Structures are given as C-alpha cells and as structure tokens.
Amino acid sequence: MSLCCAGPWAQGKNLLSCSSPQHTPSSVTPQWDVFPQKTLGPIDITILVLYFVFVLAVGLWSMWKTQRSTVKGYFLAGGQMVWWPVGASLFASNVGSGHFIGLAGSGAASGIAATAYEWNGMFCVLVLAWLFLPIYIAAGVTTMPEYLRKRFGGKRIQIFLAILYLFIYIFTKISVDMYAGALFIQQALHWDLYIAVAGLLAITAVYTVAGGLAAVIYTDALQTLIMLVGAISLMVFSFVEVGGLEGLQAKYFDAIPSTRKENSSCGLPREDAFHIFRDPVNSDLPWPGVLVGMTIPSLWYWCTDQVIVQRSLAAKNLSHAKGGSLMTSYLKILPLFMMVMPGMISRVLFPDLVACAEPEICQKICGNPSGCSDIAYPKLVIELLPVGLRGLMMAVMIAALMSSLTSIFNSASTIFTMDLWKHFRPRCSEWELMIVGRVFVLLLTVVSILWIPLVQAGQGGQLFIYIQSISSYLQPPVAMVFILGCFWKRANEKGAFWGLVLGLLMGVIRMVLDFIFPEPQCGERDARPGVLRYMHYLYFSMVLAAVSTLTVLLVSLLTEPPSEEMISRLTWFTRGDPPAKKDLAVSTSPDTAKGAREAERPALQIDISIASENSPTGTKKDSKLVRTLLWLCGMERRQENPDDVAPAKPERPMASLEENPLVKHVLNINLILSICAGVFLWAYFA
C-alpha cells in the first residue's frame, strides 16, 4: 500500500494521486510544488532585523572595547578572554549551519549514528585543555604551523601545513557552511542559492574584517545563546508533534516515500537507525571505525586546528581555557536532541520530500539528484513553527553560519598572515600585516563560493558525511605528527616531514578517486575501484594514521635526534623547562622575523606615506573616506603614532600556566563528571 497520503501534512490536501502503487517519476507531481510554501511573515522579518541589529551592536561594541590595531589584539583578542566567552566561541565555531543542516540530514537518512562525531568531541576538547594547551602556552605560539616550526626547525613543514590548513578550511568548512546557510535561506525565502550566499557574506564581513578575534568571540557568545534558545524550542515542538521519543521510535520505520524502486531497499529506513555502534563490515558507520578511525580526525580538529586552538590561546590563563573547554564538552551533549532527532522527525512528517528515493523526483524537490535529506531541518522550521518562532529559528541558522564563518575567516587570515606572508616578506610592518590579513579574507570567500557546486553533489546529499569523509583523507597524518611531536622527544624534522608527505599523498589520491568515482545512486551497480568499495573512509583514516606514524618513527630513529632547543618547552615532558635567554626568537608580533625589528619603522613609514600620499602634512589631512576606512579596520592608531610599532616584549600573547589550587580541583572534578556523562551516553545509545 502506498504511504503518500500518510502524515499530518497530507490530510485534506490534494497531494499525489496514490490509488495505484505504480508511478513513473514523470507522472508524479512533486510535493515540493503542492505543499503550502510558507514564508517569513512581518513578525518573523522584524525578529530577524532585530537580531541583526543586536549582533552588529555587540560586534561594534567589541571593536570599540578591544585594541585591534596590533597583531596581538586582532588575532588573539589581547589574550584577555575569560572562560565563558571562550567556551561559547568554541561551541559556536564548531556548530555552524553545516551542523544543523548536515546532522539533521544524516539523522533523516540513516538515524542517530552521526551523533558519534559530536560525543567524540566531548572527550577531545578536554584532551586539548589538559594535555595539548599547556604545551602550546609554554611554547608561546600563535598558530599551529608556527608550533611545528619551533618543534622541528626549518621552514618546509610550517609552509606545507599552512597551505594544507587553508585547503582544509575551503574544502570542509567555509564552502560547506555557506552552502548550508544558503540552503536554509533558499527554503525559507526561495532566493537563488548564490544570491543567498552573497547576502550572508556581506553581513558577516562587517565585524570580522573590522573587529578581529575579540569581535568574533563576543558575537559568538551571543550567537550561542540564540542557537540554544531557538534549537531547543524547535526540539520541543518536534517531539510534541511526533509523540515524544517513543513516538519517534515507532513512526520512523514507517517513514517511507510513496514513489521508489520496487524490490529494493531504496528509501527504506535503516534497521539499526537507533544504534550508534553498527556492523563492522556492511554498515554506513562501522563501529571499529567509529571508535578509532573517527577519533584521529577528531583529535586533529579539537587539539591542533587553528580555529579551535586560537580561541583557547585567547584565554587569560590555563584555568580559563580549561573552563571554556568544559563548557563546550557539556554543550556537545545536545546535538543528538537538538539536531539529529529533529531531522528524523522531519522524515516522519515529510517522507516524500526528505526521504525521496528517485533521482528525478529529488532533482525537482531540492535540486539535488543525490537525495534531499539535507532539507530536513529547514523544512521542519518552515512548516512546523508558528509565526515569530520561525523568525527566531531563521536567526538561529544565520547565527550558526555567521559564528562559524567568522571564526574560520579569522583563523585562516591568521595562518596566511603569520605563516605565509611573513615568510615571503620577513621585513614587513605590523600595519602591512593588518591589511594583508583583512584582504585575504575577501579572497578566501571567492574561492570558497567556487567550490560550492562540488559540495552540493558530494556524498549522496548527506552534507555531514561529505565533511567527515574529506576530513578522514586529509587530517590523520597531521594529527599523528602533532601527537608524536608533543609527546615523543625523539621525533625530528625529517621524520615529521616525510610522515606528512606520504600520508597526505595517500589521502589526496583517495579523495580524488572519491570525486572521480562518486558513490552510486541507490539501486545502481557499484563499479568503483576496490579501495573505495570495500574500505570505508573511517578504516582508511586508521590506515593513514598507521602509515604516517610508522614513517615518522622509522625516519626519526634512522636520522639524527633533534637539538635541545627544539625540545625545551615544546613537549609535554619539557613544558616546565625554564625559558631560554633568547626564547623570544619566535613571537607573535611581527618583529619576530630576522631583522624585522630594525626594518619595521622604515617599512611602516613607507606604508603610511602610501596611504596618505595625497596629504602633504600627514594623516590629519587625509580624506574622510580614508580615515573612515582606517577606523573601520582599527588602524588609525597605527597611523597616528608610528613610534608605537614594536610592542614591548612583556606583551607576548602567552597565557599563564599557573593555576589556583582550589580552581584546579574544581576543574578536575568537572573533568571527571564530563567524562562520566560521555561514557554513559555512549553506553546507553550504543
């Protein structure tokens, strides 16, 4: 019997003619056209406008409050953040619109298994605060490639990693979040996808380019609050509609599209939809891969990714950084209930739309023949929520997009400016670095927009799975090099470099094969090469990690050991060493490069003369437009006071490793509680 007339939205509506079980795709009127297309009403638009005003007000306030005219102020928020904005920014940077769209889409398509990525992060963010961060703080670094340069020496690893990080940000972060946010706006307002992207970027650029990390962190704290309020509201409406968790468990397995191939599994819910641990051979997320293969990219993300670590380095001291990580760990419990299960509920309510199984119909519904599970969350918001809350949820999705994009833009700008630009122009001024960092953000967005069509077609319409598969090809070698560098003193530059090269070469080959031989549509014969057909990407992640680790071990043992200055204060066992007399050789201010301090004042004067070449008497007669632009970018102080170029050495953005004993005990107790909560959740839903 056909199920097309089931569900609360089908009653009383002239939907599909479903008297006959046989339908050809050409004879089907897509529900996309016959469902009432709700859009935002005046109240919703008002809430959305108020949200934008509020966010811009917070962004401008933080711009005014923070000294953003120095490298430290712009890239590390002056190193003065307390635990709660750090924790909120960690969560908001991680949970972007790609999470809302992708996790709900994976829940609609295959059940709760994708939650494993979130609960894996519960532990990894604690590993960052308790194990990795003390090393980074002792090393006094701003960027992760900079840490590897200090730990291993030479320049090639730093340059290699800086370029790789920028590619990872484009492939798995920026374009994915822009696509997901634009998809939501497309569903709500029926705008063209690329017009929606352009509008979002225009809003995002205002305070990111102008305010630096401080503006990003403070607005992230506001975005986190909005996200939690809105997402929990939708969660409550969703569970009421479906009859609670028991209703979801009963109805999910009946959420089958009315038009699908006969005698096939296409469009059928998975039998193991409510299990996180699944069959090790034939499932979509095999449990050995979940336990091991998933943990390796997760460690890269939470412990070595610039976006995450930069927020922790902005904390006042190690205790505040630990408190921020604990806050994030507790918040990571929520995505199963806020995103994954609402996605499953969306499939129950709209099976013909969200679970479409015919490529032709999917193309008509959402423009993606691979599948339409990614519209699960926006469809739920538009159809289920009342007026007012719909506008709030629209703000939530844009908050999620803006918070993650601003974080990534700032971190990518940091890496490009501090690791690449300074390498090619070691005598550049601080003023020049400020300009380059902001201009690079604009370039990055253009490249990311060009990547969106490939994201749209990737991984069967499951956006979250696309992100994780690409991560499994690029991140394990980097993760293993960081782990060995931090916790094995014998690791040297040659071992780290060849471990990275070999591992990433294998990963890139697999990634290219994935694009050349995409996963077949449901019901089609799988003609992919064996390495794609029989080796799940999580298993491939384990192989990559093993190959990279063995390479680092063997090459390091067969070559000379690292010198003492490449170990002192740069590993877990040497983090407490007294600082060397010349331990300021690699600082985060621009006078770190060789000879830069002597050259900075002339370079700055040249930059200023270029900026004000039409003003014979200096900055005071600059045009209003020039002065406005300089103020917006936070560089008017630099121009007015060129003598203040080189900050004093005590201003190094290096948080303290000292901890109050009482605070330390409280943090450690919360560490145990958070780990216990995570273990319980894994065991309950396994």
Residues 122 and 80 in one domain: yes
Residues 663 and 611 in one domain: no
Handedness of CA 49, 55, 61, 67 (dihedral sign): negative
Residue 620 is part of which domain span? 590-651
User: Phi/psi of residue 28, each to 5°?
Assistant: -95, 130
User: Phi/psi of residue 356, each to 5°?
Assistant: -55, 140
Residue 109 falls within a domain, yes or no? yes
| Closest to 27 measured CA to CA, from 286, 267, 300, 358 | 358
Q: What is the pLDDT of residue 330?
A: 96
Residue 7 falls within a domain, yes or no? no
Residues 639 and 533 in one domain: no
- State the 10-residue block means of pLDDT for the chain, 686 residues long: 34 32 36 50 84 76 61 58 89 80 88 91 95 93 89 90 86 74 72 71 64 70 84 92 91 86 75 89 87 93 90 89 95 93 93 85 79 85 84 78 75 86 84 81 75 60 70 92 95 95 94 84 78 89 96 96 92 87 45 40 38 42 63 50 42 62 95 96 89
Residue 24 falls within a domain, yes or no? no
CATH code, 570: 1.20.1730.10
Residue 5 falls within a domain, yes or no? no
- DSSP-derived secondary structure for 620-638: GG--HHHHHHHHHTT-HHH
CB proximity list for 446: less than 8 A, separation 6 or greater: none
Q: Please state, in angstroms and rounded to a whole number, the distance separating the CA atoms of residues 451 and 65.
A: 36
CB 551 within 8 A of CB 484: no
Q: What is the pLDDT of residue 539?
A: 94
* Helix, strand, or coil (residue 656): strand
CB 547 within 8 A of CB 528: no
Q: Give the bridge partners for 656, in sequence order.
A: 317
Residues 169 and 254 in one domain: yes
Residue 2 falls within a domain, yes or no? no
Q: How far is CA 372 from CA 118, 216, 220, in A?
A: 23, 32, 30
Residue 518 falls within a domain, yes or no? yes
The dihedral over CA atoms of 439, 440, 446, 450, expressed in degrees to the nearest 10, equals: 170
Residue 29 falls within a domain, yes or no? no
Residues 534 and 514 in one domain: yes
Q: What is the pLDDT of residue 53?
A: 80
Looking at the 3D structure of the chain, how many domains does it have?
Answer: 2
Q: What is the pLDDT of residue 490?
A: 94
Residues 571 and 609 in one domain: no
Residue 16 falls within a domain, yes or no? no
Q: What is the pLDDT of residue 6?
A: 34
| Closest to 570 measured CA to CA, from 136, 129, 130 | 136
Residues 217 and 162 in one domain: yes
Residues 480 and 597 in one domain: no
Q: What is the pLDDT of residue 334?
A: 93
pTM, full prediction: 0.78
Residues 556 and 626 in one domain: no
Residues 486 and 619 in one domain: no
Residues 538 and 638 in one domain: no
Residues 544 and 618 in one domain: no
User: Phi/psi of residue 5, each to 5°?
Assistant: -100, 10
Q: What is the pLDDT of residue 259?
A: 79
Residue 136 CA to its chain's centroid (Å): 21
